[in-house]
Chains A and B, each alone.
Chain A
Amino acid sequence: MVDTQRTLLLGNLAAVEGAIYAGMRFFAGYPITPSTEVAEGCSRELPKIGGRFIQMEDEIASIAAVVGASVSGMKAMTATSGPGFSLMQENIGYAYITETPCVVINVQRGGPSTGLPTKVSQSDTMQARWGPHGDYTAIVVAPSTVGDTVTETIRAFNLSERFRTPVVILMDEIIGHQRELISLPKPGEHQVINRVKATVPPEEFEPFQLTANGVSPMAAYGEGYRTISTGLTHDPMGFTTNEPEEIKVKLDKLRNKIMDFRSEITKLRVEMMDDAEIAFVSYGSVSRAVLLAVALARSAGVKVGLVQLYTVWPFPDNKLRDYCQKCQKIIVPELNMGQIVHEIRRVMPPDTEIHSLQRYDGEILTPMQILEKLEEVM
């Protein structure tokens, strides 16, 4: 039987497929290499399903329109790359404090500034976590293949709706511009989560109330609740506050609604770690080269494994420690000057040898380079 769902797909278009599967019906964006195909795909596909696509005047406006659509009840997304991601940060911060679900795709390229528009990089790993000013906790996921991009985009929307928060998908130029033969998911194959809607009478509704599962129900505009969203620090009603105890409650909520439920968010891929003495920890497209390097090293009898972070933030402290507890050495390959490696240093016992393998000249880390580093470390 022919699998009609089988298709040769560009990574950036896989993100569109995943988003539509997850219920995304609103896209606002601005062209930027190497993410533009996400916007192009949305402009083609969304009208066919009654969705909405708008090309805004810049990236600041794009994320603003996405937030506007989300408070109106739609699942909304934007996609960009380094410079555009930098421009979006203030309004991503607005989405954090107003607890507005939305998805932001960053198809990473080299930087700083205009940098390397057509070349791969993972140098926004920290920006994705710490980009907007102020205190909050971020959820960031990172696919490594075209197939992953579909499932991670669905997962990003689910997390966003479940936790009422923006979720960043850290793609990179390699994944975005790669074509792979994949099977698109069938309806019902993946769970699709929708935000919990307000059900109490409007006069009793508190849009930012504390709840057992960390997340307040949400009322869409135009549905009788007339809520207020403000970027000023606010109380459970959404009214602005300067009261120290109310400020602390709000900021604790932004952190705790994610950190108290970290196990729901963390997702790792673990390969050949059972007897591994040396571990690679990686995320994004680099993981593909690492996987091949690990297979080659294993065939030469080296006890080495891979832990791949599908959830980059919040960082999976405990799980990583568990998986790597027997490893004396960890190698962290990244397409940057060493970003996530600091988290691994923070998490692992001080006697673990941690090696950073960096490449930041716009090229990929090859399996041979990864094997060379392994040899050096051994």
Chain B
Amino acid sequence: MATVEKTKSVEKQKSDVVLNYFRPRKKLPSVWCAGCGNGIVMSAVIRAIDKLGYSKDEVAMVSGIGCTSRMPIYLDFSALHTTHGRALAFATGIKFAKPHMKVIVITGDGDCLAIGGNHFIHACRRNIDITAILINNYIYGMTGGQGSPTTPSGAISTTTPYGNVEKHFDPCKLAQAAGASFVARGTVYHTPQLEKAITNALDHNGFSLVEVISNCHTYYGRLNHRGDAVSMLNAFKENSVSTAKAKKLSPEEMEGKFIIGTLHEDDRTEFCDEYQKLVDAHMGEK
């Protein structure tokens, strides 16, 4: 009984933290379906920000178009809800103009990897200090379940009714190859790990990506017989492998599984810092 009470009180504290960050005067509920993973990610982002002690004023949250991209509208930060795929380019303008700000981009697999793919690889290459939270649910949710660049081969969507003939992106490998200096993956099942990954990403100076495997039971789950939100979350638990454990597994054993944890971290120089050096060297020249 005491344990139950303690758990309840911890849960209450956690939700209180989240409530502190909702935008005043904004009408809820959100546009998200009941059971959507976006709420779990939103809560993890808030708790990471709270843990790091950022003031609300120093955070700018930028997004594009899609279900995930509605997140900044609900939260009490400077919010730029932009055009489809372009969030990172808008965010680059904010960060470069005000380098002391913590700039967070909330994006989805379609927004970031299809229409926004070019901005994604170039933000990685520049290594500008922006944290991108890519919520990957394998499908376009807002437009009703079309195939995305992460839809697995063979999977059903409303635009791949006979199974997807295309190959999918691995956003983490893409980011690392393009030059991102922090790359991590989490899921909406492993919430403490996700909160930690986002905290580390925010704390990192340079471009950071956190890919969050999430559930769209409404479209992806229904079309591919993956069950409800709970079944999908359980599948994330079963199919994920930690970075430490992955090292011990053969490629055959890794088949159908994905790695969660920090996948890459380095200390490449950050874009705004480098530009500031250039300004310091040439300031006042005629």
* A interface residues with partner B (beta carbon < 8 Å): 26, 28, 47-50, 52, 54, 56-58, 60-62, 64-74, 76, 90-91, 94, 203, 221-232, 237, 239-240
Contacts and interface: CB of A to CB of B under 8 A. Distances in A.
Contacts of B275: 47, 52, 54
B132 to A, nearest CB: 15
Contacts of A58: 118
26 contacts: A47-B275, A50-B279, A56-B89, A61-B92, A61-B118, A64-B83, A64-B93, A67-B80, A69-B94, A69-B97, A71-B78, A71-B80, A71-B94, A72-B60, A72-B97, A76-B93, A76-B97, A94-B83, A222-B58, A222-B101, A226-B79, A229-B80, A229-B81, A231-B82, A231-B83, A239-B25
Interface in B64-103: 72-73, 76-83, 86, 89-98, 100-101
A49 B278 CA distance: 11
A49 B282 CA distance: 8
Interface of B: 23-27, 56-58, 60, 62, 72-73, 76-83, 86, 89-98, 100-101, 118-119, 122, 275, 278-279, 281-286
B46 to A, nearest CB: 14
Contacts of A28: 92-93
B93 A67 contact: yes
A64 B77 CA distance: 19
Most buried by B among A57, A69, A76, A225: A57
A107 B86 CA distance: 24
A50 B89 CA distance: 21
Given A26-B93, A65-B92, A70-B93, 4 more contacts: A48-B284, A67-B80, A222-B100, A227-B78
A222 B57 CA distance: 5
Interface residue SS majority, chain A: mixed
B78 A65 contact: no
Contact of A228 (B73, B119, B279): B73
Contacts, number: 143
Nearest to B282: A47
Nearest to B24: A203
A61 B26 contact: no
Given A74-B97, A222-B100, A239-B27, A57 B57 contact: no
Contact of A57 (B79, B81, B119): B119
Contact of A73 (B81, B82, B97, B118): B97
Given A48-B282, A57-B119, A237 B25 contact: yes
Contact of A226 (B77, B89, B93): B77
Contact of B98 (A56, A222, A229): A222
Most buried by A among B60, B94, B281: B94
Contacts of A49: 283
Nearest to B278: A47
B86 to A, nearest CB: 5
Given A68-B80, A222-B78, A56 B94 contact: no
Given A61-B119, A203-B24, A226-B56, A47 B96 contact: no
B283 A47 contact: yes
B93 A68 contact: yes
Nearest to A74: B97
Contacts of A227: 78-79
Contacts of B101: 72, 221-222
A229 B79 contact: yes
A68 B57 contact: no
A126 to B, nearest CB: 22
A65 B57 contact: no
A57 B89 CA distance: 9
Contacts of B281: 47
Contact of A239 (B26, B62, B97, B100): B26
B227 to A, nearest CB: 32
Given A69-B97, A222-B100, A64 B90 contact: yes
Most buried by B among A71, A228, A231: A228
A203 B76 CA distance: 12
Contacts of B58: 222
A72 B94 contact: yes
A203 B24 CA distance: 9
B78 A221 contact: yes
B78 A64 contact: no
B73 A221 contact: no
